[in-house]
Structure 1
Amino acid sequence: MSSKTEKTNQENIFSSKTLTYFLQLAETMNYTQTAQLLGITQPALTQQIKKLEHTVEAPLFYSVGKKLHLTEAGQIMLRTTKDIYELLNQATDEIQQNSSATQGKISIGLLASIEDRVLERFAIEYYQTNPEIEISFHMLTRKEIWERLENNQIDLAVMYLPDDSIKNWKPYRSKKIFDEDLLFLDPDPKRANRKRIRYADTISQPWVMYPEKYYLNVFLKEAYRNQLVDPPHIAAEFTTPKQILDFAQATKLYTALPNSFVQAHELDKTFNPLPFEPALRFELAFVYRRDKEEIPRIAKFFEEFGKYMENLDYISRLKSNTPQNEV
């Protein structure tokens, strides 16, 4: 094969979004769903995959009935493509490590179900002292956070841990922000004097909660199984804690929300927030690729956030209605 032909084949593989299309299809194993996620037509997706298969001279997928599978060549391509992305991420990180501590962009993915008041106020103060740093926040699902971390599309994630949805923690590190508790919002006045609540006492009526695959929904159901109690029947689902609280207050359905959200918002007086017995505890943390904190602007961000938390603890900041620099 001539060098010119080799170059053409390489351009065919690595040009445009061919590898992105391949990776997305390898994840969903569904042409229709992949095309929708990518915002393209199914014929356009099929054409790109066939182009890639023609270039490597081997089929990458095969079907058994309606189910799609990777061929041996497809598995090799998937493994190699992930290796390529990892090398590109490493190169990006190495380049950024030489950047300025006071200039550039910090992209942060926040789990959509968290209370973001403290982080929002810190971003305001940080900008006032570091106006050349651009901070961007993205409210994301857990799946979206891991995808963007893996593809180096966000520098930091703010999310709940532990998280078993990712099996390979080797490329990542975490930095705890604070310990969190899940509180049951009890509308029953007969239990007004209780200090804690048993799991078995929380399933007598339906709940309003996060969607099925959201972290706190999965975390909650696992806790009930561990206590040998049937998980709550969830009658309504919303993606943000404010929506859940509003619905619960209007309907008197049961629910449970993080202590951070409860501290930051005024509840209906008929609700009594109770810790579970045993307690449901997890942590809010920054999660990031291993070498990110060596990038000057990320290191400075962590340093300033640490000082911010030393001046006033997380829960106190949640309860305060006034930013600390205005107190």
Structure 2
Amino acid sequence: MELRHLRYFDAVAETLNFTRAAERLHVTQSTLSHQIRQMEDELGSVLFDRSGKKVRMTEAGEILRSYMTPALEQIDRGVQALRGEGEPLTGRLRLGTTPSFNTRMVPSCVATYMHHYPGIQVTVEELAAGMIARRLAAGHLDLAVSYRPTDGGDLWFEPLYNEELKLVVAASHPLARRRRVRMVELHHVRMVLLPAQFQTRKLLDDCFEAAGAEPLVAAQLNSIAPMIELVRQTELAAIIAETAVTPAADLRVIPLEDPTPIRTPGMLWHKGATRSPSIKHFADIIRRAAGQST
């Protein structure tokens, strides 16, 4: 087994997509697939499950990666040190995120990351998806948790999972006892929503239009935590991802239908950017957290 096999394996393990991994490595997809099969034959273990629509790592692949990733990081550090580019113990990571993920998921990932890299300063910017794409393209962010950009020519997008947006109301709200709510039933319901520049708001506006509903937007806030607090203290309703809502006795989270608002979060980074081992490690933390959200 050669070092290139490990690089190929690492790229597929990171993207879980042979096409994107091949593009990143500047090889053909057939070459990449052949090299991975060679590796599997030599090890006598299947590393990736290719039977479904999505590529998944097998248990053997997870075990190999848990040992291989630190070794590759050490190799990268050694090469960088010889070139005078050794990665310092201190540095920074600049992360962009939309409000939904900055309530619970991103802070949890940052806490885990800082345990492994205590000397690296982490900066998190909470922004609308369009601004995140622009700041990534300009090199002002290293990585982002957001949505697929409408014009993402210079950006990689790695889908993480699909999630439903749900109605959130106070326990005293007239809809609080409902098991499900149709979008049309939100016609003239007083609501707090994200401002129009957010992709999630555009998604919701499309759902309202499809249902023939016009909610009464009494407030617009650009952060999820204040929205939840406003719902808790008023008669307003909100539509938020359930993963962003901490379970509480005074709140109710209700599924929506006809149509059900669904969005696909993912990771974004600039195609031409060099990703250090520490950035790759943060991406792995996000993938694991996303896996726990599904």
TM-score (norm 2): 0.61
Q: Aligned to 1:114, what secondary structure does the other structure show? A: helix
Contact 1:142 1:214 in 2 (8 A): yes
Contact 1:104 1:132 in 2 (8 A): yes
Counterpart CA distance in 1 for 2:215 and 2:95 is 33
Matched, 1:197 2:197: no
**Paired letter, 1:170:** G
Once the two structures are TM-superposed, the CA of residue 156 in structure 1 deviates from its matched residue by 0.8
Once the two structures are TM-superposed, the CA of residue 172 in structure 1 deviates from its matched residue by 0.8
Q: Map 1:1-327 to 2 at 5 A.
A: 100=87, 104-159=91-146, 161-164=147-150, 167=151, 169-186=152-169, 194-227=178-211, 229-262=212-245, 264-266=246-248, 268-269=250-251, 271-292=252-273, 294-306=275-287, 313-314=292-293
Counterpart CA distance in 1 for 2:103 and 2:173 is 31
Counterpart CA distance in 1 for 2:126 and 2:281 is 23
Change in CA separation of 1:149 and 1:274 when aligned onto 2, cut-off 3 Å? same
Q: Which sections of structure 2, spanning at least 5 residues, go unmatched?
A: 1-79
Once the two structures are TM-superposed, the CA of residue 141 in structure 1 deviates from its matched residue by 2.9
**Paired letter, 2:101:** I
Q: Aligned to 2:256, what secondary structure does the other structure show? A: strand
Change in CA separation of 1:173 and 1:194 when aligned onto 2, cut-off 3 Å? same
Q: Aligned to 1:178, what secondary structure does the other structure show? A: coil
**Paired letter, 2:117:** N
Change in CA separation of 1:107 and 1:152 when aligned onto 2, cut-off 3 Å? same
**Paired letter, 1:195:** R
Q: Which sections of structure 1, spanning at least 5 residues, go unmatched?
A: 1-94, 316-327
Change in CA separation of 1:172 and 1:193 when aligned onto 2, cut-off 3 Å? same
Contact 1:148 1:154 in 2 (8 A): yes
Contact 1:183 1:276 in 2 (8 A): no
Change in CA separation of 1:199 and 1:298 when aligned onto 2, cut-off 3 Å? same
Once the two structures are TM-superposed, the CA of residue 220 in structure 1 deviates from its matched residue by 0.4
**Paired letter, 2:104:** R
Report the structure number with the largest CA radius of gyration.
1
- RMSD across aligned C-alpha pairs, in angstroms? 3.1
Once the two structures are TM-superposed, the CA of residue 154 in structure 1 deviates from its matched residue by 0.6
Counterpart CA distance in 1 for 2:130 and 2:173 is 39
Change in CA separation of 1:272 and 1:156 when aligned onto 2, cut-off 3 Å? closer
| 1:26-58 deviation digits (Å, cap 9, x = unpaired) | xxxxxxxxxxxxxxxxxxxxxxxxxxxxxxxxx
Change in CA separation of 1:122 and 1:272 when aligned onto 2, cut-off 3 Å? closer
| 1:260-289 deviation digits (Å, cap 9, x = unpaired) | 122x242525x3522333321112221111
Once the two structures are TM-superposed, the CA of residue 151 in structure 1 deviates from its matched residue by 1.1
Counterpart CA distance in 2 for 1:116 and 1:186 is 18
Counterpart CA distance in 2 for 1:303 and 1:213 is 29
Counterpart CA distance in 1 for 2:93 and 2:99 is 18
Counterpart CA distance in 1 for 2:278 and 2:253 is 43
Once the two structures are TM-superposed, the CA of residue 111 in structure 1 deviates from its matched residue by 1.6
Change in CA separation of 1:233 and 1:153 when aligned onto 2, cut-off 3 Å? same
Counterpart CA distance in 2 for 1:291 and 1:278 is 38
| 1:212-253 deviation digits (Å, cap 9, x = unpaired) | 2222221100122233x1332211111222222222232212
**Paired letter, 2:107:** E
Aligned residues: 211
Change in CA separation of 1:103 and 1:176 when aligned onto 2, cut-off 3 Å? farther
**Paired letter, 2:293:** Y
Contact 2:159 2:265 in 1 (8 A): yes
Change in CA separation of 1:138 and 1:279 when aligned onto 2, cut-off 3 Å? same
Once the two structures are TM-superposed, the CA of residue 183 in structure 1 deviates from its matched residue by 0.4
Counterpart CA distance in 1 for 2:213 and 2:289 is 42
